[in-house]
Amino acid sequence: MLWETFSVVRDLSRLHEIASVLIRYGWGDFVRVLGMGSVLERAGRILHWKTTENEWDQLEPQVRFRLALEELGPTFIKLGQLLSTRVDVFAPAWIEELEKLQSHVPPVPFDTLEADVLAILGMPIEQVFVDFEREPFASASIAQVHRAKLLDGTKVVVKIRRPGLERKVEADLRIMQHVARLAEHEYSEAKRFQPVQMVGYFRRSLLHELDLLTEAHHMVRFTKNFADDDTVRIPQVYWEYTRPGMNVQEELLGIVGTHLAQARESGLDTKLLAQRGASIVLKMILVHGYFHADPHPGNVMYLPGNRIGMIDFGMVGRLTEFRRQQLVNLLDALTHNDESDLIQILLEWTGEAEIDEVKLAHDVADLMGNYDHLQLKDVRVASLLNDIASLIRDNGLVLPADLTLLFKALITLEGLGQQLDPEFQLSPLMAPFVQEVILRRYTPDALMQRGRRGVKEAFEVVAGLPRDLARLMREVRRGRLRIDLDLKRLDTFGRQLDRASNRITMGILTASLVIGSSIVMTVDGWRFMGFIGFILAFLNSLWVIISIWRSGN
DSSP assignment string, 281-327? HHIIIIIISEEES---GGGEEEETTTEEEE---SSEEE--HHHHHHH
Cβ contacts of 175 within 8 Å, gap of 6 or more: 8, 11, 14, 15, 18
Question: Does 300 fall in a domain?
Answer: yes
pLDDT for 6 equals 45
Please report, for the domain that includes residue 213, its CATH number.
Answer: 3.30.200.20
pLDDT for 484 equals 61
What is the tally of structural domains in the chain?
5
Regarding whether 532 and 422 lie in a shared domain, the answer is no
Question: Does 216 fall in a domain?
Answer: yes
Mean pLDDT, each 10-residue run in order, the chain (553 residues): 48 78 79 62 55 63 88 86 80 85 77 90 91 89 91 93 86 84 72 77 85 92 93 94 93 90 90 91 87 85 93 86 82 77 82 76 85 69 82 80 80 86 83 76 73 73 77 74 59 63 71 74 71 76 68 56
Regarding whether 345 and 432 lie in a shared domain, the answer is yes
pLDDT for 331 equals 77
Alpha-helical segments (H) within 378-443: 381-394, 401-420, 427-441
Regarding whether 466 and 391 lie in a shared domain, the answer is no
Regarding whether 531 and 457 lie in a shared domain, the answer is no
End-to-end CA distance of the chain: 17
Using CA atoms, how far apart are residues 160 and 152, in angstroms rounded to an integer?
Answer: 22
- Phi, psi of 32, rounded to the nearest 5 degrees: -65, -45
Regarding whether 216 and 126 lie in a shared domain, the answer is yes
Tell me the HSE value of 330 on the side-chain side, using a 13 A CA sphere. 19
Report strand pairing: 246-250 vs 255-256: unpaired
Structural domain harbouring 173: 2-101+167-198
What are residue 173's DSSP bridge partners? none
Contact (CB, 8 A) for 37 and 19 = yes
Question: Does 484 fall in a domain?
Answer: no
pLDDT for 553 equals 55
Question: Does 485 fall in a domain?
Answer: no
- Secondary structure E strands in 168-253: 232-233, 246-250
Which of 423, 457, 478 corresponds to the end of one domain?
Answer: 478
**Kind plus residue range of the DSSP H or E element containing 270:** helix 270-282
Assess whether 294 carries a catalytic annotation: yes
- Phi, psi of 360, rounded to the nearest 5 degrees: -60, -45
Regarding whether 418 and 497 lie in a shared domain, the answer is no
pTM, full prediction: 0.71
Contact (CB, 8 A) for 44 and 69 = no
Regarding whether 214 and 320 lie in a shared domain, the answer is no
Regarding whether 288 and 273 lie in a shared domain, the answer is yes
Regarding whether 264 and 407 lie in a shared domain, the answer is yes
Regarding whether 501 and 467 lie in a shared domain, the answer is no
Question: Does 278 fall in a domain?
Answer: yes
- Closest CA relative to residue 406, chosen from 379, 388, 393: 388
Which of 251, 280, 314 corresponds to the end of one domain?
Answer: 251
- Exposure string for 190-206, b = 16+ CB within 10 A, e = fewer: eebbbbbebbbbbbebb
Pick the catalytic residue: 88, 172, 211, 294?
294
Question: Does 26 fall in a domain?
Answer: yes
Regarding whether 110 and 90 lie in a shared domain, the answer is no
Regarding whether 230 and 271 lie in a shared domain, the answer is no
